[in-house]
Structure 1
């Protein structure tokens, strides 16, 4: 996964400009404050020039500049992260792995540090199993992130293996459900689990919407889910799963009346899919509870079949 574009640039900028311990210490007597300012300017000038050089695929120049940053700020994990990417893009995967490991050890919970390492390892014929002793693999957040990365890349069995033994949370439970749905789709391409039958020539777009919606629900990005689910409904107005997804997004954005109307529209298209039916009934119950209509909330709650 490439980490490019303005949002990622702002992410890096935020990490870089966040004061570190060395720059927030009390200045010494004399010209210490001036030298600190010069140090910061020198670092930032080299760093952003490195990003510029890397963007135009001048990796050797970018690496030289990033190594200069490393000399100025040896423990800056953002520099390690950028060095990992620059070395990887330039084809030096051995050094790329070293810097990726350094960055991850500095911030084990960082999804993007882990992701760049996940992209580098296969290029060396390596795996996380081979470097487990070099990273804090028992860190729960790291393992959840790794499972999510595996899920993004379609490595469903790997994701389940990473999650094995982790204490169940709402995130892990949701992710396991999505992984199992994806495995079912992979094993039986003629159907889409929890969506219903595909629509002839629309096979590609249907699956694309399904995959995007799955990820947005896992990430709990309900703002984006509103837009994607709405677009999906315009293209595939007979798919109950897209009504469900739109209803989930609306409920989580406190638009309960619209959520109830959308979810009830799904009832017109329900297939013999107990799991999806139950999900829709739960969301309807939540919507009507929020609206203060306990009668309807209880009615839909009573429709949920046990064991799913």
Structure 2
């Protein structure tokens, strides 16, 4: 707002106050040269205002008003002086008087707008700027901002779309529109508008992208795909078009071309991450049934290395874990841990995957390393003890388990498992007394849990 107005001094081309931004001279008016003292008073007022002696300027103008009370220029100059003094009521009254004396005097309306803007009375400013639009269409930008500031989003959206179509999009208007679109009640109207824009301008990619994004945000994936297909038909080179092509190739079991489309979409900064995640999930299921594409899946994951919202390798590892495909789960969980070794949840999932897959050498080494990194995490001692028992390293198992048991607090299930593994370790060492001791402790804890 307020980006349109630069005043030039009325009558003699001298510059007015610097807070106005519309680069256009005010109209030149001739002062009637009647020897009634008015001319001298007017010149005095102009001189005093130029050196910011506003009180003296106003005094001279008031004297001139007595001589020529119907001369609109007196009131206009009074308005400017009062505005400079931040006497907003007086300034507005004088500008308003000029507008009533001469409704076609644009600068009087500009002065009224300046006052409303200075006091942030945006509701009062709106009809004034609506009048200014009849003089100069550029004021529609100001009007858009006023509608936003007064929460008249329906009017703002209508004007934004009009200006976008006529003059092209601007960053400011797009920010306004994004704010409006947070309210679901405006989304239907905007979707309809975008569909109409696509019909009128089928080669304008941005309309397709905006609509695809809106459908995706509202989980209308089928409609998003439909618009992407229209885009692919009109603009085959579009990155967004590859979204629909990817789906088409997967449905036709054409993995090679699906990979090509995916490798265009994933590095593209134009495509929303939610759509990329959906595509990756679809390709992961495809690769599960078509193992030869697993290297392409690995490459796809690399595009998400810096994705802070979704840890892709971890999610794929968890997917394979849930399907009891522990070999692939291990692969992807390890891939995630390369960049996030402090993720305890994933470390534990990996240790359990090693256990399920009976990779006890790997389990023993990984768990032992983790006891060094996380010396107070009892779960890591448990897995290290379990692995060494399975490898018949009973003495080492007993030592590790004895150390870790001290860290078990308020976790009955873990305590039971520790005692069972300690019983196994001492059984392997031939120490019957300690074996029975730990097995008995485990039984006691199990009975307590059942109560």
Q: TM-score w.r.t. structure 2 length?
A: 0.29
- State the structure with more CA Rg: 2
Q: Whose relative contact order is higher, 1 or 2, with alpha carbons under 8 Å and at least 6 apart?
A: 1
Q: TM-score w.r.t. structure 1 length?
A: 0.41
